[in-house]
Amino acid sequence: MISFCRLLCGSELAWSSLASFMSSSPLHNYLRTNRKRLALSQEEVGFLLGFQGESKGIKVCRNEKFVREPSLHTALAYEAIYGRPVRELFAGAYQKIEEGVAARARILSFRKDRKPNQKKQKVLAALARGHSEGNS
């Protein structure tokens, strides 16, 4: 698989093939994969993220290994650097969050409202299936 990705280095075909291959069990994040794709060092990414001091590379390493969960600001900066949506960069975390939202939406959909609202029920049904309203 690695030689396949090197052959197609950075193309959309390679990315989609890799993503579909790994979709059954995504990593917590794909920060290292994307950093390597752009041939950047951890120190360089740390600088681009705006980290200060000599520990820039260490902070990036902690994010890559999911020892430390990045702030929203840092996650959005990763998106700007790597050109990939946050939900792709943090696919494993996103999947766990999406599953939790779906479970809570199923519970919420059984709650009885005084005034039934079809739009709300449609949104909850989509969330329960694991799809946001914008993606259904």
Over residues 101-130, the pLDDT tens digits come to 999 998 888 877 777 788 888 898 888 888
Q: How confident is the model at residue 1 (pLDDT cuts 50, 70, 90)?
A: very low
Evaluate whether residue 106 is within a structural domain: yes
Residues 40 and 81 in one domain: yes
Residues 50 and 21 in one domain: yes
What pTM does this model have? 0.70
The token pair at 50 is: 């705006």
Rounded to whole angstroms, the Cα distance separating 96 from 112 reads: 27
The token pair at 11 is: 């193309």
Evaluate whether residue 129 is within a structural domain: yes
Provide the CATH number for the domain around residue 37: 1.10.260.40
Over residues 24-70, the pLDDT tens digits come to 667 789 999 999 999 999 999 999 999 998 899 999 999 999 898 99
DSSP string, 69-118: PPPHHHHHHHHHHH-S-HHHHTHHHHHHHHHHHHHHHHHHHTSPPSS--H
